Structure 1
Amino acid sequence: MDGFQAYGAGKAGGVFDPMTFFRQPQTLVRILCWLFSIVILGCVANEGYTNRPEEDEEFCIFNRNQNACTYAVSMGTLCFLCCTAFIVLDVYFPQISGVKDRKKAVMADIGVSALWSLVWFVGFCFLANQWQVSKIEDNPLNEGADAARASIVFSFISVFTWAVQCLLAVYKFKLGADSVTFSHEYVDPNQQEAVEEVPPPEAWTGGTSE
C-alpha cells in the first residue's frame, strides 16, 4: 500500500530530503548530543590540565585525579564517534528495505541511548565530586575553572538529552511494531467488497435440490 511505513520510515528507495530529515525531533536531539560531546571533550582536553610553577608535569584540575580527565576525554571522544555513526545511520535508515533490519537498528538506538545516559550520569557525579574536593593550593590561579564547570554542566545536560533520545527511539519502535502489524492484517477494501458480492453456492444452482 502507498502509505506503508515501518519503524518511522516509508518504503526503501525514496529520495533523501534534508529539510525533512533535520526537522525531525530525533535528528535535532542527536545533533545536541553530538555538540555536547564536543564541548565536554574540548573543555577537558584543552583546559583540564595545569601545573604549578615549581612543577614541570601537568596534572588534572579535578582534584589532581588523572582518571577524571581521562574519563571525560575518553567518553567525549567515544560519544562524538557514536553520535556521528548514528547520524549516518539515520540518513541511511529509510533505504533499509528489510523490516527486521530496521527493527534491529531501532533496538540498537534504544540500548545505546540508555547506555550513554548512564555513562554521562556517572561522569557528572564523578567530575562534580572531584571538582568539589579539589584543593585551592593545587590550583591557586583557578586555571580552567570555567572549562571544568562547563564540562560538569554539559555532562548533566547530556544525561537528559540521551534519555530523550532513548524515549524517542522507544516511541519509534512502538510505532514501527504497530505499523508492521497493521500491514500484515491489512485487507484491500476492493478485495473485501468483491468477496462479499460473491453469491453463496446455493445461488449457483438456483437453490438446494430436493
Structure 2
Amino acid sequence: MSEHPYRLAVIVGSIREGRFAPVIATWFARHAARHPHIDVDVIDLDEVRPYTLRHGSEEYASFAKRVDEADAFVVITPEYNHSFPAPLKHAIDLLHTQWQAKPVGFVSYGGISGGLRAVEQLRLVFAELHATTVRDSVSFALAGNLFDDAGELRAPAAATQAADTLLHQLTWWAVTLREARATRPYGG
C-alpha cells in the first residue's frame, strides 16, 4: 500500500429531477471516506451539467482536471430502460486520456435488476477508453425501499461488505496503476 492516499472520484451519473442518486452517492462517499488511504471527490453531473460544457471553457477545464487528477472512479448509476443515463455517457465522452489506465468501479440501482444491465454496458464504454473496470460492484434492487428518510440503509451489512470488496479491488488497481503511470506513462 502506498503511504499517499489515492484520489477516488465518485461520479453521480443521474441528473433527472427527483433522482435517487444523491442518497446512494452520499452513503457511498461517506463509507469510502472512512478509509484513510482514500481521498474522495464527489463529481455530481447535476452540478457539472455536461451538456453545457464546451471545449476551452473554464467549466470544461475544471471537469477535465478533476477527472485527470483522480486515480480511480466509482460511477453511481441508475438503470433507465435497461441502460445508463444519456448525460453520463455524454460526460464520459467529453474526455479521453483522463480516463486511461485507471480503474473504474460501479454502484448501481434500479428496479429488480439493481442497475446491473447499466453496469454491463458501462464496462464496454470504459474498456474502449482504456480504463480497467473492477469485477465486483455494489447493486441496490428497489433502492428506495432499502434506505430510510435520513438516507441510511435499513440493513447495511451486505451493502457495506460489498462496498468494502469494491474499495479493496479499486485500491489495489489505483495504487498499482498510479505507480505504473508515474514510471511509464500510458501510451494507449
Q: Which has the higher helix share?
A: 1
More strand by share: 2
The structure, 1 or 2, with the larger RCO (C-alpha pairs under 8 Å, 6+ apart) is: 1
TM-score above 0.5, yes or no: no
TM-score, normalised with respect to structure 2: 0.31
Q: Under a length normalisation based on structure 1, what TM-score does the superposition of the two structures give? A: 0.28
